[in-house]
């Protein structure tokens, strides 16, 4: 399975698209997922793919906008390190 990261999410508590995290990462090892705001400030970082970003930084809701993410992991099936980056939109 290819690991995907949604291009938008809506952390409004309705139970739909409330979190941002890598999807289908259960086979990945040595995973690192990081999210940065438009100023380059790290707002979320994890090595556990089940840990999800809720759109806050130190319990403060972050503003609507575009956020950059990086994803690095080891693909055991291909026996190679994978690095991906992209953007997602936080919608309030």
Q: For residue range 35-72, list pLDDT tens digits in order.
A: 999 999 999 999 999 999 999 999 999 999 999 999 99
Rg (CA), the chain: 13
Mean pLDDT of 21-31: 92
Please give the distance of CA 92 from its chain centroid, rounded to a whole number.
17
Per-residue DSSP letter, 76? T
Q: Is the pLDDT confidence value at 26 over 90?
A: no
Report the distance separating Cα 48 and Cα 60, nearest Å: 22
Report the distance separating Cα 35 and Cα 70, nearest Å: 7
Cβ proximity of 45 and 33 under 8 Å: yes
Burial class of 59 by CB neighbour count within 10 A (0 to 12, 13 to 18, 19+): exposed
């Amino acid at each position: 399975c290819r690991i995907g990261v949604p291009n938008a999410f809506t952390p409004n508590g309705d139970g739909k698209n409330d979190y941002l995290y890598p999807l289908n990462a259960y086979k990945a090892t040595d995973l690192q997922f990081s999210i940065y705001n438009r100023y380059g400030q790290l707002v979320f970082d994890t090595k556990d793919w089940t840990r999800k970003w809720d759109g806050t930084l130190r319990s403060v809701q972050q503003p609507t906008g575009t956020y950059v993410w990086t994803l690095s992991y080891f693909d055991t099936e291909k026996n190679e390190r994978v690095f991906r980056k992209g953007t997602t939109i936080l919608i309030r």
